[in-house]
């Protein structure tokens, strides 16, 4: 029969498990939780921005800077590793700082550990936005991480990028190596893989873990958990012409860099459509003259006529002629 655990034994095992969880959580720490990426409000202009040594908008120095490595605002010399000794005095402000990080532009306190390790472990070393290609020195906002592809994003483009991140660089969701339907998706390469090509030969995978991408090594996500879309291409010079409901179905027409609004085409098969198309309607738009397509213009004799009204009259005449032909008797 095993011995009963004492209270000290239980406490030691609980503390050991807690320390292991803390060590494992260091690599999974969110980017917004780092002290060098916390929110800060300037003392002079009262604008919110990322933690930095100087204000991005007015270049003012903050009265109470925050260390970008440990996050402290007052040094109480409890660690004993201060490079600047201040026995019995609690330092704040510029008396506490010792350097400025070249990557995150935040103050680093004068502790030996922070100055010696922060530059190598700064989470914003390669923090360049995927959309605008700006680093932390080029914009005043905080830096975020995409929840799909784990890429860096600035505060201006984080919502726009994540809204269209689940999009493959292909016209279908089939595997890039075969013609099977992709079951695993790489959100960094934007490529789909089937169950056969998502695994490497001769490589042992951990049980219950996600498969790494064969190209970049990023974790693959099951297609059933995502809402992936494919790349679509819109061809034609009138692909952007969308009818507005307020204009009774009237749309725009663009040709040769000139946009014509309120376009009303003649009915298909009528004589007016042929005259407008072959008589200079399309070519007139290129030279800036918007004749045809429902617009009034002067004829050679000086009278005004509308292509839309004439087309309706011609259509009525044709219908009357068809009715008369149908009433005539058929001789055999």
- The domains of the chain are located at 31-121, 245-326
260-270: per-residue pLDDT in tens? Answer: 555 555 555 55
Query: In this predicted structure, what is the pLDDT of residue 288?
Result: 44
User: 0.95 cut: is pTM over it?
Assistant: no
Instruction: Decide if 223 contacts 237 (C-beta within 8 A).
Output: no
157-180: per-residue pLDDT in tens? Answer: 888 888 888 888 777 888 878 888
Q: Which of these ranges, 193-197, 271-275, 291-295, has the smallest mean pLDDT? A: 291-295
Query: In this predicted structure, what is the pLDDT of residue 39?
Result: 92
Q: How confident is the model at residue 289 (pLDDT cuts 50, 70, 90)?
A: very low
61-107: per-residue pLDDT in tens? Answer: 988 999 999 998 998 876 678 888 888 888 899 999 989 999 999 99
- Assign residue 328 a region (left: φ > 0; alpha: ψ between -120 and 50; beta: otherwise): beta
Terminal-to-terminal C-alpha distance of the chain? 115
Which tokens in the block code for residue 49? 């921005």
Query: Is residue 189 pLDDT above 70, yes or no?
Result: yes
Who wins on pLDDT, 24 or 45? 45
25-50: per-residue pLDDT in tens? Answer: 666 678 888 999 999 999 899 999 99
- How would DSSP label each residue in 281-301? IHHHHHTT---STT-EEE-TT
Percent of residues, the chain, with pLDDT higher than 70: 70
Q: How confident is the model at residue 280 (pLDDT cuts 50, 70, 90)?
A: very low
Query: In this predicted structure, what is the pLDDT of residue 252?
Result: 55
Who wins on pLDDT, 267 or 323? 323
Query: In this predicted structure, what is the pLDDT of residue 107?
Result: 93
For Cα atoms 320, 324, 328, give the angle at the middle one, nearest 5 degrees. 170
Residue (of 250, 252, 259) closest to 285 by Cα position: 259
Mean predicted lDDT score pLDDT of the chain? 76
Who wins on pLDDT, 195 or 152? 152
107-134: per-residue pLDDT in tens? Answer: 999 999 999 999 898 999 989 998 899 9
202-253: per-residue pLDDT in tens? Answer: 777 777 778 888 888 888 888 887 877 877 665 554 445 444 444 454 555 4
Instruction: Decide if 272 contacts 233 (C-beta within 8 A).
Output: no
Dihedral sign for Cα 282, 285, 289, 295, please.
positive
């Amino acid at each position: 029969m095993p011995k009963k655990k004492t209270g000290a034994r239980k406490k030691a095992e609980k503390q050991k498990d807690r320390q292991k969880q803390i060590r494992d959580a260091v690599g999974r720490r969110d980017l917004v939780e780092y002290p060098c990426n916390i929110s800060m409000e300037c003392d002079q202009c009262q604008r919110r921005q990322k933690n930095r040594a100087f204000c991005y908008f007015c270049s003012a120095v903050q009265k109470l800077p925050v260390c970008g490595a440990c996050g402290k605002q007052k040094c109480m010399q409890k660690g004993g590793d201060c490079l600047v000794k201040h026995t019995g005095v609690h330092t704040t402000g510029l008396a506490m700082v010792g350097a400025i990080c070249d990557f995150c532009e935040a103050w680093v306190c004068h502790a030996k550990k922070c100055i010696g390790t922060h530059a190598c472990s700064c989470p914003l070393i390669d923090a360049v936005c995927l959309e605008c290609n700006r680093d932390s020195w080029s914009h005043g906002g905080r830096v975020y991480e995409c929840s799909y592809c784990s890429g860096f994003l600035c505060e201006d483009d984080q919502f726009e990028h994540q809204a269209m991140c689940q999009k493959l660089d292909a016209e279908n969701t089939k595997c890039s190596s075969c013609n099977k339907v992709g079951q695993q998706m790489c959100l960094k390469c934007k490529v789909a893989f089937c169950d056969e090509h998502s695994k490497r030969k001769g490589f042992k995978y951990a049980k219950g873990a996600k498969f790494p991408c064969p190209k970049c090594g990023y974790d693959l996500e099951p297609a059933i958990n995502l809402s992936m879309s494919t790349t679509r291409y819109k061809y034609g010079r009138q692909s952007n012409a969308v009818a507005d409901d307020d204009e009774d179905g009237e749309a725009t027409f663009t040709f040769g860099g000139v946009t014509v609004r309120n376009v009303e085409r003649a009915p298909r098969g009528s004589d007016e459509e042929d005259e407008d198309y072959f008589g200079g309607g399309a070519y007139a738009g290129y030279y800036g003259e918007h004749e045809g397509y429902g617009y009034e213009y002067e004829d050679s004799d000086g009278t005004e006529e509308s292509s839309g009204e004439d087309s309706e009259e011609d259509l009525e005449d044709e219908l009357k002629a068809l009715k008369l032909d149908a009433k005539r008797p058929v001789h055999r």
